[in-house]
Amino acid sequence: MNTFCFFLERAKSFFFRETVLCIAIAAAAVSIFFVPPSSAYLGYIDWKVLSCLFCLMSVVAGLRASGAFDILASSILRFAGNVRSLAAILIITTFFVAMAITNDVALITFVPFALLLMRNSISWRTRAHIVTLQTIAANVGSSLTPVGNPQNLYLFAYYHMPSEQFFAGIFPIVITGFALLILGLTRIKPQTLYAQHTGHNFSLKKKRFSIFIVLFILSVLTVFRVLDYRLVTALVIVAVLVLDRELLLHVDYSLLFTFLGFFVFIGNLQRIEAVRSLLTALIGENTVLVSALASQLISNVPAAILLSRFTPDSVALLRGVSIGGMGTIIASLASVISFKFLSHEHPSEALGYLAIFTKWNVIFFVALYLVNLVV
């Protein structure tokens, strides 16, 4: 009985930690009963997307291990003179850095520093406000580039989108989001900041940094279809095995298996005529709204994978899942990262943070959707 309870608790813990992965696996398993396994399953999987995700996650882990992110975060925070300037540095830096290193890595890098600096000298409400805007900054900023988040990478590859179409389609949403972030900063009072230094002295491993920055550039070129993804994947694997095999432990395999699960589920859905007709009719001319709302329930990565098979409007879907990253705490998986950090450091503030997070995300969701209607 004790053993059963132990495994039950472990299963519950895994489900709450990896909810989207569990849903993806369950959905794929159920779909198998309607479409028996065959060689056609291999055609469901976009190997380039999975390879690019693996490369980017591995290389970013290498850059992080080189000390580059810690030095960057520690350096920029020295310029903060008061709470508002600290918030501006954290939020604006997160916005732009997320474009290159993804929204989740940007939050993993900057949210802990923010919480450390705000531990004793800032009210819980201001702390929640700043972390909320950081999270929105990561989600909005990452939307501007194909490598900024998993859904962008997938859509850019799936639709073979020309770069100019991608950037032109998403730019109005991102620039509006940036303007709203600046307005959000004005709500933070310029109080005196007493704790400005982390106390850490970071050093840069120059050789490792040089190698991984080259691999990062190669990975980005792969996303833009300049280089063959198989060659770059092989180079990244060799580099990681030679330099630091432990980096493989920092790859988000749950995200990769989530993609696999949804690839199987969605591939099977496409082969069921009634379901295909229903989803195609549902999306119709409402791709942005449907994808934004779907993101609130299943998050924007699986929403992008699911709906891409039923609409040819790549820009509308790109906008929809980007707007859909605002809203509920699960609308973007990166948002959960910030919540975990804050709730771990300040457990009593978790509910208050969720209230502030939801309020600001609803504001951004509505504003960005309205902008989408006119541009």
Closest CA to 185 of 246, 126, 239: 126
**290: Cα within 13 Å, side-chain hemisphere:** 18
Query: How far is residue 264's CA from residue 86's CA, in Å, rounded to a whole number?
Result: 45
**Direct distance between the N- and C-terminal alpha carbons of the chain, in angstroms, rounded to an integer:** 61
Domain boundaries, the chain: 46-374
Query: How far is residue 111's CA from residue 106's CA, in Å, rounded to a whole number?
Result: 8
DSSP code, position 252: -
Q: Which residue's entry shows tokens 């900041």? A: 193
The pLDDT value recorded for residue 201 is 58
**165-172: long-range contacts at Cβ-Cβ below 8 A with a sequence spacing of 24 or more?**
165/314, 165/315, 166/318, 169/314, 169/315, 169/318, 169/319, 170/143, 170/144, 170/315, 170/318, 170/319, 170/322, 171/144, 172/371, 172/372, 172/375
Predicted TM-score (pTM) of this structure: 0.81
Tokens describing residue 57: 């996650």
Compute the average pLDDT of residues 198-224.
Answer: 83
Interval 277-299: pLDDT, tens: 877 777 877 899 999 998 998 78
DSSP code, position 246: G
Is the predicted pLDDT of residue 137 greater than 90, yes or no? yes
Helix (H, G, I), strand (E, B) or coil at 364: helix
Q: Which residue's entry shows tokens 């040819």? A: 312
Of the listed ranges 184-188, 197-201, 215-219, 251-255, the least confidently predicted one is: 197-201
Query: How far is residue 107's CA from residue 98's CA, in Å, rounded to a whole number?
Result: 8
Question: What percentage of the chain exceeds 90 in pLDDT?
Answer: 38
Of the listed ranges 67-71, 73-77, 177-181, 270-274, the least confidently predicted one is: 73-77
User: Which backbone phi and psi does 66 adopt, to 5 degrees?
Assistant: -75, -15
**Taking a C-beta distance cutoff of 8 angstroms, is the pair 61, 251 a contact?**
yes
Compute the average pLDDT of residues 69-97.
Answer: 82
Query: How far is residue 182's CA from residue 353's CA, in Å, rounded to a whole number?
Result: 20
Of the listed ranges 114-128, 157-171, 219-233, 249-263, the least confidently predicted one is: 114-128
Query: How far is residue 99's CA from residue 151's CA, in Å, rounded to a whole number?
Result: 13
Helix (H, G, I), strand (E, B) or coil at 192: strand
Interval 118-134: pLDDT, tens: 776 678 898 999 999 99
**Taking a C-beta distance cutoff of 8 angstroms, is the pair 25, 260 a contact?**
no
User: Which backbone phi and psi does 125 adopt, to 5 degrees?
Assistant: -65, -45
CA dihedral for 355, 361, 365, 371, sign (positive or negative): positive
Helix (H, G, I), strand (E, B) or coil at 82: strand
More confident residue, 75 or 304: 304
- Burial class (CB within 10 angstroms; exposed 0-12, middle 13-18, buried 19+) of 312: exposed
Query: How far is residue 290's CA from residue 274's CA, in Å, rounded to a whole number?
Result: 19
Give the count of beta carbons closer than 10 Å to the beta carbon of residue 254.
16
Give the count of beta carbons closer than 10 Å to the beta carbon of residue 231.
11
Q: Which residue's entry shows tokens 């995700």? A: 53
Exposure pattern of 9-27 as b/e (b: 16+ CB <10 Å)? eeeeeeeeebebbbbbbeb
Tokens describing residue 289: 């709204």
Of the pLDDT bands very low, low, confident and very high (cuts 50, 70, 90), residue 56 is confident
The pLDDT value recorded for residue 185 is 93
Interval 307-334: pLDDT, tens: 998 889 999 999 999 999 999 888 887 8
Closest CA to 192 of 78, 116, 82: 82
Close Cβ partners of 322 (under 8 Å, ≥ 6 residues apart): 139, 140, 143, 151, 152, 170, 173, 174, 300, 368
The pLDDT value recorded for residue 73 is 67
